[in-house]
Amino acid sequence: MKRFIRSKLILVLMLFVLTSACQKQEVQKQTWDSPPESSFVRENGSIPPGQISTLARANIDPGCLTCNSQNRYAQNLKPNSEVSASRLMEKLTPYLKNLDPSQKEELIEELEDHMMWCMIRAVLIDANNNNFGALVLKDKYWTDEKGNKHPLTVFRIAFTPDPQGENSCYRSLLTEGHVKHVINLYDGEMFVDDLVAAERAVAEELGASYVRTAELDYGHWRDTIRKHPEQGPEREKATQNVVRLIKEQILMPAGEPPRGNILIHCGGGMHRTGMIIGILQKAINNTSMEEIEKTYRYHVGYRNESQKSGFEQGNLDFINEFKKEYLNKR
């Protein structure tokens, strides 16, 4: 009798495997998840429970997404880049005899900067730390070709190392995540032209639109905010640029209602992405600043005051001062 019951259970299990549309990616189901807004505690380095309920509300099967919520921010990137630049200078010195001290100092700074961005790409992107998250916007929807309404979901990730790969996180979001508009927020010095080209190609292949905000006149808002921490004309202009970005790229892409879900990312999915998500949480979902801060801290890899990783208080300050009414103004 026990053998018969066991055989039945095995048969049921096999049928489930055979009928699961995304079973080939089941191994990813255990690692893609990102925390719900009320659970951001890491224990022994593990990832908190995922946003299963969030995706359920958006009618998306998490087992079909090949993304993970891992994020890394090496504390020693800056000192390591300085050491690397110094060693490079030692090797180059015999060939740079004609440089005066100020020229050598300038060259060292350029080498340090170059080495740091190379390391950042290796740590954040090439290691496939997707920093995945999903946010369903309150009372916002998109309509499919059959006239069915779906909750508008904004996905967040970092750059991924192989956007064109068959099982890449990026591709799975455009197919199984029903993403029809991609917003690349990155506006830094890391070399990512190859990744941008690959993302554009996949978006075009799958019928999604693609925007790199650095190519728009309002795309350089974050550097302005960092350079102007106090209130003033420049900071106000940056705020209005963020308002334009949200209205023109998330709420009404190309002046039309969304055709599907939205994907946003920057370099590591931490700062620019975290600020836009925080503003969406506050201005549209009426999320408390306490919860917004938990979300932000999680995605920058914050653990405690001695291990802040990518945490920047200025980013939270900007979210906190952003008024909900800004998005309602014409």
Domain at 163, CATH number = 3.90.190.10
Confidence band for 22, pLDDT divided at 50, 70 and 90 = low
From 125, 149, 164, give the residue that closes a domain: 125
Q: Does one domain contain both 95 and 137?
A: no
Residues 300, 271: contact at Cβ < 8 Å? yes
Task: Confirm whether 253 is domain-assigned.
Answer: yes
Average pLDDT of 198-223?
A: 95
Owner of token pair 């309920």? 53
Task: Confirm whether 14 is domain-assigned.
Answer: no
Q: Does one domain contain both 167 and 191?
A: yes
pLDDT of residue 57: 78
**Tokens, residue 291:** 């919860």
Q: pLDDT by residue (tens digit) across 137-174?
A: 999 999 999 999 999 999 999 999 999 999 999 999 99
pLDDT of residue 243: 96
pLDDT of residue 279: 97
The yes-or-no verdict on residue 133 having pLDDT over 70 is yes
pLDDT of residue 11: 34
Q: Name which of 12-16, 158-162, 253-257, 323-327 the model is least confident about.
A: 12-16
Q: Does one domain contain both 52 and 107?
A: no
Q: Does one domain contain both 243 and 286?
A: yes
172's CB contacts (< 8 A; 6+ apart) are 25, 64, 65, 66, 67
pTM over 0.75: yes
Within 10 angstroms of residue 120's Cβ, the number of other Cβ atoms is 21
Range of the domain at 226: 24-70+133-327
Measured distance between the N- and C-terminal CA atoms of the chain, rounded to whole angstroms: 72
Q: Does one domain contain both 288 and 153?
A: yes
Q: Does one domain contain both 200 and 121?
A: no
DSSP string, 235-303: HHHHHHHHHHHIIIIIISGGGS--SSEEEEE-SSSSSHHHHHHHHHHHHTT---HHHHHHHHHHHTT--
Task: Confirm whether 315 is domain-assigned.
Answer: yes
Confidence band for 12, pLDDT divided at 50, 70 and 90 = very low
Average pLDDT of 259-280?
A: 96
Average pLDDT of 211-216?
A: 95
The yes-or-no verdict on residue 281 having pLDDT over 50 is yes
Question: Cβ-count burial of 84 within 10 angstroms (0-12 exposed, 13-18 middle, 19+ buried)?
Answer: middle
Phi, psi torsion values for 79, nearest 5 degrees: -60, -35
The yes-or-no verdict on residue 3 having pLDDT over 50 is no
The yes-or-no verdict on residue 42 having pLDDT over 60 is no
The yes-or-no verdict on residue 31 having pLDDT over 80 is no
Confidence band for 41, pLDDT divided at 50, 70 and 90 = very low
Dihedral class, residue 4 (left if φ above 0, else alpha if ψ from -120 to 50, else beta): alpha
Q: pLDDT by residue (tens digit) across 52-110?
A: 677 877 888 888 889 888 887 766 666 777 777 777 777 777 777 788 888 888 888 88
Task: Confirm whether 7 is domain-assigned.
Answer: no
Task: Confirm whether 2 is domain-assigned.
Answer: no
pLDDT of residue 189: 83
pLDDT of residue 209: 98
Q: Does one domain contain both 34 and 90?
A: no
Total domains in the chain come to 2
Q: Does one domain contain both 293 and 184?
A: yes
Closest to 51 in 3D by CA, of 143, 156, 141, 161: 156
The yes-or-no verdict on residue 303 having pLDDT over 50 is yes
Q: Does one domain contain both 176 and 312?
A: yes
Task: Confirm whether 1 is domain-assigned.
Answer: no
Query: CA-CA distance, 233 to 230, in Å (whole number)?
Result: 10
Task: Confirm whether 16 is domain-assigned.
Answer: no
The yes-or-no verdict on residue 8 having pLDDT over 50 is no
pLDDT of residue 69: 87
Q: Name which of 4-8, 152-156, 265-269 the model is least confident about.
A: 4-8
The percent of residues above 70 in pLDDT, for the chain, comes to 82
Residues 327, 247: contact at Cβ < 8 Å? yes
Q: Does one domain contain both 160 and 121?
A: no
Q: Does one domain contain both 194 and 57?
A: yes
Burial 221-247 (b: 16+ CB within 10 A, else e): bbeebeeeeeeeeebeebbebbbbbbb
Q: Does one domain contain both 183 and 155?
A: yes
Task: Confirm whether 304 is domain-assigned.
Answer: yes
From 108, 125, 142, give the residue that closes a domain: 125
